[in-house]
Each structure stands twice: as C-alpha cells, then as structure tokens.
Structure 1
Amino acid sequence: MHTIDRNIAPRRPPTTASVARGHRLDIQALRALAVTMVVVEHVTGRPTGGFVGVDVFFVVSGFLITGLLLREADRHGRISIAAFWRRRIRRIVPASVLVLVLGTAATWLVIGSSRGTSAAIDALWSVASLANWHFASTGTDYFASQGPESPFQHYWSLAVEEQFYLVWPLVVLAAVALARRRNETAVPRVALGFVLLLLVLGSFAWAWQQSVTSPTVAYFSSLTRAWELALGALLATAAPAMTRLPDVLRPPLAWIGLIGVGASAWVTTSTVPFPAPGALLPVAATLLVLASGTGCVGTPWLGPLVSRPVSIVGDLSYSVYLWHFVVLVIGRSVLGDDPAVLWPTVLVLTIALSAATYHLVERPLLSSPLLEPGPRARPWRRWRQEHRSTYRRGGVALLTGAALAASVVAVQAARPAAVPPVVPGASADGTVVTDTSGGSAAPGDDQALDVPALSEWSAEITQALSATSWPDLDPSLESVLDGTRTGSPHLACGDAEAQGLTPDDCTWASPTATTTVVLVGDSTAMHHLDALIPLAESPDGGFTLINRSKFACPFVDIRVQNDVAGILESCRAHNDETLALIDDTRPDVVLVTNSYQTLSEDGAGTITPDRWSEGFGAHARRVAGAARSVVVLTPPPDDADIASCSRRGGSPVDCISRTSRTWLDRAAADREVLDEVGGTFVDLRVLTCVSDLCPAFVGTVPVKEDRVHLTTAFALAVSPVLGDLLRVRQVL
C-alpha cells in the first residue's frame, strides 16, 4: 500500500518512461483497483467483497519490499536495516500520524468527547502498529457493547504490514549474512524461498482453522495474514526465473489477474471462511499480475488500465486509504445515511484531502533528510528550496479548501433543526389519545389491551419523540457513550460457568412463588433480566425466575456464526443442557428472547426466515412438550445506536429507531412457530415505541446502550409496566 515500485530483475536495461520513473504501471493499476474496491464497498456497501482490496495490498507489499531488499543485497552484498527502516518511516509515518491527529480532533469536535476519547485510544494503538491486535481483542469481547465504528478501524491492515516490515528484513539480513560467512556471493534466494514456503503453509493452515473458529481474530491477526505477504515475497525471490516467461503470455496473464481481482470483490461472501480459504482468489490473481510484469522491459499491455488517470489513483492510494474511513465515519454522524448526500460528500472530501496529503506530506517528506545521519543543515536547506513552490501553492489550496469547508459548516449549522415525527394518535398538546401498539407494523396482539400503566408509559414515549434537544439523562448520555455507566451485576449470569456462578446465583424467587419461569435466549434476553428480577422478587410476585440465557447463544437449533472463540460448541452444549433441564423440571413458563438482527449460519450464509422458523421450531416443540407455556418476548428494534447517531449540536430526532424488515420477518417466523405449539407472542415494542417510532430515551432514561441491548436503568424503570403487560397476557 505504501512502497516504492521498481521492476525486479529486468532482462535488459529498462527504456520505457514508466520504468525510468521507478513505477510499474501494472502495479499502479493494481493499487488503483484495490483502493477503489475498498473505498466503494465501505461507502456504498457494494460490492460486498470489496474489502479484498486489502489482500491485494498485502501481496504487493510483500513482493515490493522483498524485491527492494534483495536488490540491495545483490548490489552491495549486504543490507542496511537502518536505512530501510528510515525510508519506511518517512514513507508511512508522516501521513499516517497526520490523519490520526486530525481525525481524532475532528471526531472530538464534531461527534463528541466520548467518541473522541475512544478514537484517541484507537489512534495510540495505531501509532504503536498494534491496531490489528487491538481491534481483534475488542471484536471478540462479547460483553462489550455493539458500539459504533472507530474512524481508525482500517488502520489494522497498516499494522499488519508494519509488523511485516519490522520482522521480515531481519530474516533476509540473517540469510544474506549467513551466505557471506560461507563465502557465497549470490543472494540465497532458494533458502529464502524455502523459508517463505514453510511460512505460507503454516500461516495458511492456521488461518483456515482460525477463520472457522474465531473469524474476527482471523481477520485481524498478523499470523493469519502472513501467508499473503509471504506469497508476494516468494514471487520476488523467484524474480530471475520470470525472465524466461514468454512476452506473448504476459498481457493475457495480467488481464486474467486484474479480472480475477475485480471478480473476487463480487464473489467473496460470508459463506466462505476468511481469510482462508476466502482470500485465495484475490491473492492468486494479484500474483498473476505481478508475475506478468516481472523480468521484462516496461509493462504488459493493459490498455486504459495503465493510463495517466489510473496511475494518479495509484499514486494517491495510500492517502485515499488513510482518509476515506475517517471521512465516512464523521460524515455519517453529521449527514446521516442518505446516499444522495453522504456518498458524494465522502468521495469528494476523501479525494481532496488525499491529494493535499500526497503533495504536501507524502512526496516531500519521502525525499527529505528526515532521520538521515550526518550534518542536516545543508540538506534541509536544499530540501526547503526544492519544495518552497509546492508549499506556496499548497498553502493557497489549503486556504481555499478551508474556506469552502467553513462555508459548508456554516450552511450545515444554519439548517433548521430536525423536525420530530408526527405520532398518530397524539393530540396537539402532545398527549396520547390511545396507542399501545408499539408500531404500525405487525405482528403483535398487544394493541387492544387494557393496561393503564402501558397507556401512561406510551404517553412518555410520545413526549420523548417530540423532543428536539437532549434532556438531562440518568444515567447521563456521556456515561452511556463512554461505557462508564453502572452496569448490572446480573449480566454475569450470561456466562455463569466462566464467572464461577452456581445455578442458585442466577435464580430469583418471590416468597409466595408457586410458578417456575425459565428465561432462555441470547444477550438480548440477558438485558431483560433487570426488568424481570424485580417482578420475581416482589412479595406478591408468585414465581421463581431461573436464568438460562447466555451471551452470543440464541435459543435455536442453528449454529449461529459468532466471533467468540469456541462459542459454536459451547452454545450447542448450553442449549442441550437447557433443554434437558426443562425436560426434568417441567417449568410452568419458558420465556424466549433472541436477537432479531441479521445473523449468519456457520458455513451457510445469512439465516432466512424459513431457516429461522425451522431452527426455533425444533426447540419450541420440545419445550412445549415439557412446559405449560412457551412465550416469546421480542427484543428491541435493531436500528439507531445512540453512540453513532448522537453528536455535538445534534437532536434526539436523529436517534429515533424504526423496525427493520429483518426484525419483522424474524418476528413473523417466531409467531408461526408459536401458533403451531400453542405458545404466546408478546410484542415488547409497546415498551419502547409508539407507531413504530422508538426514541433513544423515555422520561430521563436512555433506552438502549447500543443497537439492541436495553440499558440497566431502562429495564428497571419499565419493569412495573412489563409486569402489568405479562399479567394481562396471562403469562404470569
């Protein structure tokens, strides 16, 4: 992604302008294609496999860096690691740090201090070249909220490359030094190739295993990505052999490779473990392009793909990669998700910032005497003279850009505040006539119930929907955003065995208990606990509540894909134990809450409504044979995340959730199963929504801590209303 291009082992002195400039235009085309795939996929969501552009960069980096090292060894009989690292630092660090500093400041100023603090932490990991391990760690922590994307999440791939730059040159240096001790004049390409082959095989095998068992760790890990960099390096060691490749084969190989790279963006799906074997196609296609242009004069014929515009995109690829995700995350927070506004704004800003960074930071500092040994006054003076005109023109461009940006900000600030939605059934003074439906969208049987407490609660929801500014919340909005709010001690029961808890620790009962209720499901069920426990422990509650819900473990007979290591086997075992417990104890009521987010089945892709119905039905039919009643309590609609939609100067209107198509399909599937087994479906949107409009707070309490999980404070506040609803529905 950020290396100097030079052809490797040409058969004869290069004569073309492209080679004279030190650029291989086929590699420029690869860079342009790869960064375009990544940016377009991040911004638009299509093609779904556009992220494989990162794999292209890995192969190219391994190839180019190894080629640089081997050519230095060929010319001088040794490798200067210090000089290599100085060049890498000048090439990578200035632009990277600039984006981190400006991106953190912009996040803090535009979105808020909580997101700014989080971005600063991510930036520090990125500066340390450990961003990939940082994101792998947070990605596998299923106690963590499903928080907003970090503006620096894309820095994980830079960290992988930087770790490669740190370790691999030492291996090449050791091989060259060992050859010299043996009085060998040739660079030990065969020995290095053998080492690389072992690395490829070991890393690929480990990547395949990790891709199946721990997908998030596999995606970010340097160990599971090493085979891609190593294959590029392996091709570089074989560069002399490429001189024997017939010229007539080179253009077809290059075209096949480029087409393969582009096709991989469309054919790569979540059904194939990634990065192994899922990255094989883009990696192999990239190797074809690199091989076709190695050991020859000039660049294989690629028509318009080696034109000047494509080469410019290749030049800008590093800066484009650095800026695009920062601009996207901040832009989405300010502009929302409207493609007509967001997409062109992100693309234009990314190109403008990337051009400025390339011309004012990347190129000048790469040729500067920064970090070079010896006297520096004269080299710096000469460098300033060479680049004085560049910075003059750049200063004018920056001032012009700043003026335009200020104008945009002023226009944005002058826009009318977001208008609250019109709530059907609300009178002019904001009071509710009557609407306890939770939404206009079926399914649900709760709209005609006589639940006075629910009517009063709906009035509070309607009042929250009319708010145009954030009230003083308890817990505060900042504490929800930065995770410092007081969490529930009962959440430990979501992983009771690992937390050392006994069944009694996760059982609550009323002194008058005559009914047994078992709660099953995933983390959304766990976040209902704080609403159910006060009902169970009240003097007249009349029931015992046993928790058998578990984080990342939906109560369905489906291997639901998850990033938690070992969770597939653990979840299957947990659900089997839960079913056995229900068979033995024959409880009166089994409450089921599963997430209605888009989920994938391990090895089979997205779970369809029919597949969900099949998987839930298998468990529900068995439970119905042992329990008096099977009851589904729906999760909150999976939509707005308060940490993503809230920003400085923003409005609660920006954080109103609505029911997704996936939620409705999943609910309908559950409803069909319950109709079959004689169960009860309770649409709990009545507790969070009015007419399918769901505010981020009710009263002074935040509703959700992320996209789907209720806050502890909200669960406690809504508990009496939930109790009345369940009693009216004859669940309790």
Structure 2
Amino acid sequence: MPALLGPGLVRLGLAMMVLVEHLSRFEIGSLAVMVFFTLSGYWVMRMFDESYRHMPRPLTTFYVSRFLRVWLLYVTVFLAAMAVLWGLGRYDPATWAALPILGVATHDRDIIGIAWSLDIELQFYALLPLLWAVAARLRDGAGWGLLALATLLLSAFSWVLLYRTGITLVTVYLPLFVAGAAIHLLRLRASSRLALLSVGAFVLAAVVVYLTPEARQLLIYGTDNPNHNKLFALLWAITLLPFVAWNVHQPSGPVDRHMGNLSYAIYLVHFPMIIAGRELVGRDLSDPEKLVVLVGAPVLALALYLLVDRRYERLRRRVVRALKTLPPPRRAAIIPIESAPMRESDSVQ
C-alpha cells in the first residue's frame, strides 16, 4: 500500500466520493458514509480515551467539544443555503426542522443533503458513555464476541424497524461504529498486505455486483428504495475494515491533517451548491456544469475552511481549555480503562 496514503487523504477521498455520487450515476456516496461511520467510531473513541476521560469533567467537555466541532460549521452552511434558496424563491419553512440536526435521518428535511449522517453521528456520541462502560468490563475475546453478536442482532432489529416504520436510529449502523471503536480499544492493526487484500475483496464485490443484472442498480443509479442502497453500502463497507485498521495507523503530517479537516467542509457545501446550480439554470446540470461544481465545491470548501472553520476550531480549543480548569465533580463519571494518556491529534475531529 502507498506510504503516503494518510488518514486525512482517505477522508478527503471519501468526501469527494459523496460529491461524485451527487453529480453522476455512480452509487458510491453511501459507501463513503459507511466508511466514515467506522472512522468516526475509531477516532471518537480514541479521542475520548486519550484526551477527554482524563479531564475533570470528561463527558461535559466531550459533548461541548463535539457540539462546537460539528454544529457550528453545519449551521453556517445551513443558514447560507437557506438564504440562497430564499433568494431563488424556493424557501420552505419546514426545512428549519433540520437546524438541530437530530431527527433529520427520519424526517429527511435536509437541504444539506448529508445531514442525515450527522444525525446518526450525534446519536453515536450519545451512546458513547454506554459503549465505554461496556468495553471497560470486557476482559477476553468471548466478551467481545458477545458484544459483536449483540450489536449485530440490535442492528438487524433496527433495520426491520426502518423498513417497516421509516424510523432511522443509530443502531442501524452501530456495527460500523463498534468496529471502529474496537480497532482502537483492542489495538487492532492490519498489515499492508492484509489492507491490500481488503481492497481487493472490495473491488471483487463491486465487480460481482456489477456483472449481476439484478443487482447492478446498487452501483449504478441506485434502487428506488434508499434503504436497499444503504444496506448494501453497509455490507460492502465491511470488506474495507482491514484497510481502515491499517490506514488509521499511518503517519499524518500537517498537510494530511488539513486535508482531513477540509473533508468536512466539502461534505457540507457540495450539495447546496448543486441544488443552487439546478435552480439557477432551471434544469439538471449539464456535464460541463457538473465539472464546474466538481472543481468549484472543493474551492468553496477550502475558502470556508480557511476563513471560518479554523476560527471555529480555535474557539473550540479555547472552550475546552476553559473547561479543564473547572473543579472535578465529587464522583468520577467514567469507568477507567488502562491506557496511557496522549495528546489529542489535530487529525482527530
């Protein structure tokens, strides 16, 4: 595997895959989101373990930090998109339901296009203390095996609930988050050879699906039922777990970390840009116009990252430092897991 394939570059590539899906006939964006969920399970668990659990008020600090990291940039893009749509005469008051993010995965009033995945992400943050408490009591492989089985059964039940009621819960995608968390907690590492085999299995699965006429629509255009597309993407993403276990341990310098940070801005701005373009021309975008968006969305995201997101990040860090000075509560809120504290990496978001 290439030595320069750092975690930030992979996250940037996943964000671009979501952009490509929204501009083309290739159903690869849902896959990218599923891999993002696994990466989130790893980075958030690692960040909490190495940084926040040693603070006087770990949960308070963690939740405030996550809120500032996710919601501030989201609400900036959300309000800008609402203003643009209002100017184009397409204002819909019902869209304000997406402002708090939570619930978007179910009610689907999403002018950002990907806010449903942020809703799932926030639900995972809410479950993190429970997952941490369970992991603290797992002493052997049998315990982790029972956790894996319980996670799969809960996910299967949640998929049934989703298909029957349309309610989307984090438990639908919980196996991906738990897999990412386990990579950190169990110190799982994959060799470059295993990572390469993982990518090979991923490509082979895509070839088999493409060559199967009844299943080809899962890769091209997608099925009429978005739940089918997401379920397939989840199963497809599982083939990449060894690659993820390899990639998260690769070196990540300043440039790689900036690319990873930029991925969130691209993730947020690209779909409103596509919608605004369609409204301006009064039709679907032509291929040259899609090319303009393909190039323009990362450029706009870069400006947003440099001018806005980095300021939000400095604010987040100041708030976290201030919370560190608060006196600790009388009782510890977190069950400790033996692990050497480490400085929070800039690549952890």
Asked if 2 retains the 8 angstrom alpha-carbon contact of 1:207 and 1:275, the reply is no
Asked if 2 retains the 8 angstrom alpha-carbon contact of 1:196 and 1:231, the reply is no
**Residue in 2 aligned with 1:204?**
155
How far apart in 2 are the matches of 1:100 and 1:159?
A: 14
**Residue in 1 aligned with 2:126?**
166
Q: 2:7 aligns with which of 19, 24, 27?
A: 27
Instruction: Classify 1:372/1:208 alpha carbon distance in 2 versus 1 (closer, same or farther; 3 Å).
Output: closer
Matched, 1:127 2:97: no
Q: 1:352 aligns with which of 299, 313, 328?
A: 299
Q: 1:238 aligns with which of 186, 207, 219?
A: 186
Question: Equivalent residues in 2 for 1:389-404 (5 A)?
Answer: none
Asked if 2 retains the 8 angstrom alpha-carbon contact of 1:328 and 1:346, the reply is yes
Asked if 1 retains the 8 angstrom alpha-carbon contact of 2:198 and 2:243, the reply is yes
**Residue in 2 aligned with 1:51?**
30
Question: Equivalent residues in 2 for 1:382-531 (5 A)?
Answer: none
Question: Equivalent residues in 2 for 1:312-711 (5 A)?
Answer: 313-335=259-281, 336-368=283-315, 369-372=317-320, 374=322
Deviations 1:209-228 (A, max 9, x none): 346546xx26x443322232
1:359 to partner: Cα distance: 1.3
Asked if 2 retains the 8 angstrom alpha-carbon contact of 1:66 and 1:236, the reply is yes
Asked if 1 retains the 8 angstrom alpha-carbon contact of 2:42 and 2:180, the reply is yes
Larger Rg: 1
**Residue in 1 aligned with 2:341?**
none
2:312 maps to amino acid: L
1:33 maps to amino acid: G
Asked if 1 retains the 8 angstrom alpha-carbon contact of 2:41 and 2:179, the reply is yes
**Residue in 2 aligned with 1:155?**
115
Between the aligned residues of both structures, percent identity stands at 23
1:283 maps to amino acid: A
How far apart in 1 are the matches of 2:288 and 2:96?
A: 28
- Corresponding residue SS for 2:111: coil
How far apart in 1 are the matches of 2:196 and 2:275?
A: 40
Q: Which has the higher contact order (CA 8 A, sep 6+)?
A: 2
- Corresponding residue SS for 1:270: coil
How far apart in 2 are the matches of 1:370 and 1:100?
A: 24
- Corresponding residue SS for 1:371: helix
Q: 2:239 aligns with which of 268, 285, 292?
A: 285
Asked if 2 retains the 8 angstrom alpha-carbon contact of 1:62 and 1:232, the reply is yes
Q: Which has the higher helix share?
A: 2
- Superposed CA RMSD: 4.0
Deviations 1:343-384 (A, max 9, x none): 133234322221112112222322334534649xxxxxxxxx
How many residues align? The count is 310
Matched, 1:222 2:170: yes
Structure 2 length-normalised TM: 0.72
Asked if 1 retains the 8 angstrom alpha-carbon contact of 2:199 and 2:240, the reply is no
1:48 to partner: Cα distance: 2.9
Structure 1 length-normalised TM: 0.37
Deviations 1:15-65 (A, max 9, x none): xx98xxxxxx44334323322221111122x21343322111111111211
Instruction: Classify 1:285/1:361 alpha carbon distance in 2 versus 1 (closer, same or farther; 3 Å).
Output: farther
Asked if 2 retains the 8 angstrom alpha-carbon contact of 1:59 and 1:229, the reply is yes
How far apart in 1 are the matches of 2:204 and 2:75?
A: 34
Instruction: Classify 1:311/1:128 alpha carbon distance in 2 versus 1 (closer, same or farther; 3 Å).
Output: closer
* Structure 2 gaps, min length 5: 211-215, 324-349
- Corresponding residue SS for 2:77: helix
- Corresponding residue SS for 1:116: coil
